[in-house]
Structure 1
Amino acid sequence: MTPHLVALDIDGTLLGYDGGLSPAVGEAVAAVRAAGHHVVLSSGRSLVAMTPVAALLGIDAGWMVSSNGAVTVRLDPDAPNGWELDQVRTFDPGPALRLLREELPGARYAVEDIGIGFRMNALFPDGELDGEHRVVDFEQLWAREVTRVVIRSPEHTPEQFGEMAARIGLDDVTYAVGWTAWMDLAPRGVTKASALERLRGVLGVDPSATVAVGDGHNDVDMLRWAARGVAMGHADDLVRSAADEVTGTIDDDGAAAVLRSLVSRGR
């Protein structure tokens, strides 16, 4: 058996819309890990929002990619927090935030403090961001370099978000627009794929032995990077076009089918 690097998105891929984990998906993740493959949770979520998911899946050792590739951690049950930072990519969010505020003066903005939570100009709705939340003056959001910026503007559609980002020229950052009026900013050139490619080298996994499963626009680069990129059945056309194949929806436990195939093929 050739150990594979299996990169898995979380929301809409492993976890349902209610945040629940189906027994079939949990069992499939465990089976792939038991077979010797490297299961790497790869999410736009912050580190503090990913560690509970790892615990839910019984993953206490290995690697995780968080904040859309800006933060890579090594899980270690003997570490004080259960993890150690492996790589952190940061950027100065000031220029982008000033541009965005001119376009979206009523939006909510937040920047990530790794392993802690977020600083924000106004509180986000309950449950949207994990960890500690600290409201600060807008200018304090760029008091130091950060790994991630979150912009939330319910008055705008994802399409309007994308058009605005292209129009104002966010050239110094990488941005991803979510399902709703939500946009993430990351350091330029940083994506899930860039972090996973580095990790692939660290683990000594051949490029042909890479698998990725996801459903969102921030998964597109990851699906293209993997030798076997799999889009969830409910993903839109942009995500599907980036994949090599399409599995079932989240309601069909589509991720479980992909994971079981890795075990049944002896791969």
Structure 2
Amino acid sequence: MTDLPPLALDIDGTLTRPSGHGIDPRVFDPLGEWPAPVVLATGKAFPYPIALCDFLDVEHLVVAENGGVAVAGDDVHVHGAGDRIDDVAAAIRDAGHDLGWGEADLVNRWRETELAVRRSVPADPLRALAAEFDLAFVDTGYAYHLKPRDVSKGRALERVAAAVDRDPASFVAVGDSENDVSTFDVVDESYAVANADDAARAAATTVLDAAHADGTLAALDAVRDSRA
């Protein structure tokens, strides 16, 4: 078998159980044993993928908050939006909505570069506020995200790839959402799991028949087989 390529993997909808909730434990061994770099590229707040790297026992190679945070070992890059995130959160509340996560708001508590809003909140007012504050609006299928326009998972992957001395195009990416399109655009080989949205399906080089972690495991098998 020739050398296996590095990976760039989304988390929600991609490493999750068939129900879509919780990490599927079947991904732990193949990812922990993967002989090339594994980058976790997610919309989740910074601490979550770092913790998952620890549980997988892989190097801290992370794209978090839809590209707002890029981590490669000791190289931690945070692309913030200044006061705009706090200001848009206040504007959402002033418009009569909350962020949807309860008083503790464990979704945004450790988020450094963007704002995540539960999808039960009406989207149109959020789109208008994103435009007012010069932020991008992204629907990941799990939450609405308001983030700086000039960040993306793909751009952050390029930074992480450079830190580990790899060509971004050499990565194999797996994802399920419109926020994965920028990742698919910078790699040569990409897989959309069966539960992926239309944007991810259109951008991927392969659309899998299997969903969630089943799809990711099928993609890893396909990568191994193609390089045998």
TM-score range, shorter chain: 0.7 to 0.9
1:152 aligns with 2:121: no
Q: CA deviation at 1:106?
A: 1.4
* Alpha-carbon spacing, 1:173–1:57, altered in 2? closer, same or farther (3 Å): same
**Deviation (angstroms), 1:58:** 2.3
Q: Within 2, Cα distance between the matches of 1:132 and 1:70?
A: 13
Across the aligned residues of Structure 1 and Structure 2, the Cα RMSD in angstroms comes to: 3.2
What amino acid sits opposite 1:233 in the alignment? A
Q: Indicate the residue corresponding to 1:90 in structure 2.
A: 80
Deviations 1:4-44 (A, max 9, x none): 33100011101222303242x2233234x23xx21101111
| Runs (5+) with no aligned partner, structure 1 | 76-83, 111-121, 134-145
2:9 pairs with 1:8: yes
Contact 1:106 1:153 in 2 (8 A): no
Q: Provide the rounded CA distance (Å) in 2 between the counterparts of 1:71 and 1:15.
A: 22
Structure 1 counterpart SS, 2:194: coil
Which is strand-richer, 1 or 2? 1
Distance 1:168 1:68, change over 3 A: closer
Equivalence map 1:1-267=2 (5 Å): 1=2, 4-16=5-17, 17-23=20-26, 25-31=27-33, 33-34=34-35, 37-59=36-58, 61-75=59-73, 84-94=74-84, 97=88, 100-101=91-92, 104-108=95-99, 123=103, 129=107, 146-152=112-118, 154-156=120-122, 160-161=123-124, 165=127, 169-170=131-132, 172-180=134-142, 182-250=143-211, 253-266=214-227
Amino acid aligned to 2:103: L
Conserved in 2, the CA contact under 8 Å of 1:2 and 1:209?
Answer: no
Distance 2:94 2:209 in 1: 38
How far residue 214 of structure 1 moved from its aligned partner, in angstroms, is 0.5
Counterparts of 2:113 and 2:212 in 1: how far apart (Å)? Answer: 32
Cα 1:168–1:200 change in 2 (3 A) is closer
Q: 1:29 and 1:22 mapped to 2: Cα distance?
A: 11
Displacement after TM superposition at 1:57 (Å):
1.9
Taking structure 1 as the reference length, the TM-score comes to: 0.70
CA drift of 1:177 comes to: 1.4
How far 1:87 sits from its partner (Å)?
A: 0.9
Equivalent pairs: percent with the same residue? 25
Give the length in aligned residue pairs. 224
Counterpart secondary structure, 2:174:
strand
Change (3 A) 1:22 1:248: farther
Partner amino acid, structure 1, of 2:99: R
Tell me the SS of whatever aligns to 2:161. helix
CA-CA distance at 1:216 after TM superposition: 1.7
Residue type at the aligned position of 1:21: D
How many Å separate the matches in 2 of 1:178 and 1:204? 29
Which residue identity is paired with 1:123? Answer: E
Q: Would the aligned equivalents of 2:9 and 2:174 in 1 still touch at CA under 8 Å?
A: yes
Code of the aligned partner of 1:8: L
CA distance in 1, matches of 2:66, 2:7: 16
- Quick one: distance in 1 between partners of 2:95 and 2:180? 25
Question: Aligned letter for 1:198?
Answer: R
